[in-house]
């Protein structure tokens, strides 16, 4: 099997969110160990079937939120002018989801160039992209 070059790896990281996620990101597993973010069967099924606009009715443990957060992060890092927002009807849940994005960034094998970061948003210098959090509902 021919070896893959550094340029080919870089191209795959930029062009293939799954390749980026599984090779560059890590996640804390249920036993509280940091492990590579390798898709579980439910995440793989969702990823293979996803579209531009998906609504997911789900229980809390299959990892869809973790996956979508990682996909949004990939877009912000590599797709110019991306606007990704994590929203929830519960402020605590929104904060937890946004902390996960920060964890991905802090533990990624690739460093992202951040221009501005606050409690509510991260602005990516090279792509002019923004990843933020918001809240739906009236309370």
Name the 3-class secondary structure at 34. Answer: strand
What per-residue confidence (pLDDT) applies to 94? 83
pTM of the full structure: 0.88
Encoded tokens for 33: 């160990």
Range 64-85 average pLDDT: 93
Average pLDDT, rounded, for the chain: 87
- DSSP conformational letter for 92: H
- Judge contact between 108 and 24, C-beta under 8 A: yes
Question: Tell me: the pLDDT tens digits for 19-71?
Answer: 999 999 999 988 999 999 999 999 999 899 988 887 777 666 788 889 999 99
CA dist., res. 39 & res. 134, Å (int): 26
Angle, helices 64-78 vs 17-24, to 10°: value is 110
> Is 60 exceeded by the pLDDT of residue 138?
no
CA dist., res. 78 & res. 124, Å (int): 9
Name the 3-class secondary structure at 18. Answer: helix
In the block, residue with structure tokens 């869809």: 64
CA dist., res. 138 & res. 47, Å (int): 32
In the block, residue with structure tokens 């996956």: 67
Q: Which residue has the higher pLDDT, 105 or 118?
A: 105
Q: Which residue has the higher pLDDT, 43 or 135?
A: 43
Angle, helices 64-78 vs 91-107, to 10°: value is 60
Encoded tokens for 118: 């606050």
């Amino acid at each position: 099997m021919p070896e893959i070059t550094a340029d080919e790896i870089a191209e795959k990281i930029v062009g293939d969110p799954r390749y980026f996620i599984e090779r560059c990101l890590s996640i804390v597993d249920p036993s509280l160990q940091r492990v590579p973010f390798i898709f579980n069967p439910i995440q793989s099924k969702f990823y293979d079937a996803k579209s531009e606009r998906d609504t997911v009715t789900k229980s809390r443990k299959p990892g869809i939120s973790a996956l979508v957060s990682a996909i949004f992060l990939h877009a912000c890092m590599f797709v110019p002018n991306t606007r990704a927002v994590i929203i929830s009807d519960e402020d605590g849940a929104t904060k937890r989801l946004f902390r996960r994005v920060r964890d991905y960034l802090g533990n990624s094998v690739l460093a992202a160039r951040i221009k501005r970061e606050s409690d509510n948003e991260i602005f990516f210098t090279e792509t002019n992209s923004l990843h933020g959090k918001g809240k739906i509902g009236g309370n």
